[in-house]
Copies of this chain bind each other. A is one copy, B any other.
Amino acid sequence: MERNIDRMRKRMQRLGVGFRPHLKTSKCVEVSRRMMTSPAGPATVSTLKEAEYFFSHGVVDLLYAVGIAEGKLPHVLDLRARGADLKIVLDSVEMAQAVAAFSRERRHPLPVLIEIDCDGHRSGVLAESAELTEIGRVLHGTGALLSGVMTHAGSSYDCRSIDAIRAVAERERALTVRAAERVRAAGLPCPAVSVGSTPTATYAEHLTGVSEVRAGVFAFFDLVMAGIGVCAVDDIALSVLTTVIGHQRDKGWLITDAGWMAVSRDRGTAHQSVDQGYGAICDEAGTPIEGLIMSGANQEHGIVSHRSADPRATPMLPLGTRLRVLPNHACATGAQHDRYHVVAGAAPDISAVWPRINAW
């Protein structure tokens, strides 16, 4: 984890951009302090509960990167009144009007970034749309604070090559910078130009015009990231420790006590060139066991077998053997747990226990 974080932070320095790590993967202040460039941020969160939690641990500069709903504005204002520099995101004239009206009424200008759609995968307005500048005009000088534009190239997770990621990264950059230029050309301020995803942050060739990058899963990495070439399997810093509790010899199955509850239902590698089932299997020291995957999952039972499905290919490891499951998706697997057990390298000794938060 420390190596992953160090690599990403150095990369951001080399590219000459600010770094606003996304804290939604770990939801843990111990991990997050190691990711951020200062204990006060900048940082990105995906829920207001995360904002509350990290603010209570001294993180001040926060971006809530999910489109705001009107019903959440009083909570946002309350956090700001207590000292959090919390910024929000929206992508419609209608929501901009609601935020401007709320800001006027409460006499507190809420800082807003306009979300740009750079790849059609989720939310946002198009960089060339009339709505972009219209939203800017509704926000600026009417009570709210127009703070910039932001996007997330979520489609980078579906890339099949490094070249494809580089192309997505350049489109993410170019469209967001273009959006900022259009906002400025309309006579409006646009200080923040915020982009990011772990794949595009890892492979962007330059970030001219961008003010800051957001990325999150890079601290832990996972099999989906390894599958698209963003990390090596050995970089994956999160695993689920489990114990062999049974054998089904005829089928070549090891039964373990980690089911989908422990690793999540995420099957993100199902459509990649190597389907890792519910996770790849390592020994307790974290060394992958060639060919072994978690091929099936009940709530508290895992089925571990050889990816060839040849029953003779699975080593019938003794009952009590401890294994580690590398996750498809670190955000999803982390969310099934309430704490992290920290180990240094391959050592089995737990050097710390770090709590995390969940839910809303």
How many copies the complex holds: the figure is 2
A301 to B, closest residue via Cβ: B122
- Residues on B with beta carbons closer than 8 Å to the beta carbon of A300: 24, 46-47, 66
Q: A46-B299, A92-B247, A300-B46 are in contact. Are A67 and B123 (CB under 8 A)?
A: no
CB of A261 within 8 Å of the partner chain: yes
* Per-position 1/0 for A226-269, Cβ under 8 A of B: 00000000000000000111111001000101001110111100
Q: For A92, what are the chain B residues with a Cβ–Cβ distance below 8 Å?
A: 246-247, 319
Q: A122 contacts B319, CB within 8 Å?
A: no
Q: For the complex, give the distance between the alpha carbons of A329 and B95 in Å.
A: 33
A114 on the interface (CB 8 Å rule)? no
Please, which residues of chain B bring their CB within 8 A of the CB of A94? 319
Closest residue on chain B to residue A320 by CB atoms: B70
CB nearest neighbor in B for A264? B265
**With A46-B299, A300-B46, A332-B260 given, is the CB distance from A66 to B245 under 8 Å?**
yes
Name A31-66 residues within 8 Å CB distance of B. 46-47, 66
Q: Is the CB of A91 within 8 A of B246?
A: yes
Interface centre among A117, A244, A331, A336 (most CB of B within 10 A): A336
Of B67, B261, B265, which is within 8 A of A246 by CB?
B67
Q: How far is the CA of A46 from the CA of B260 in the complex (A)?
A: 12
How far apart sit A231 and B232, CA to CA, in the bound complex (Å)?
46
The reply to whether the CB of A338 lies closer than 8 angstroms to some CB of chain B is yes
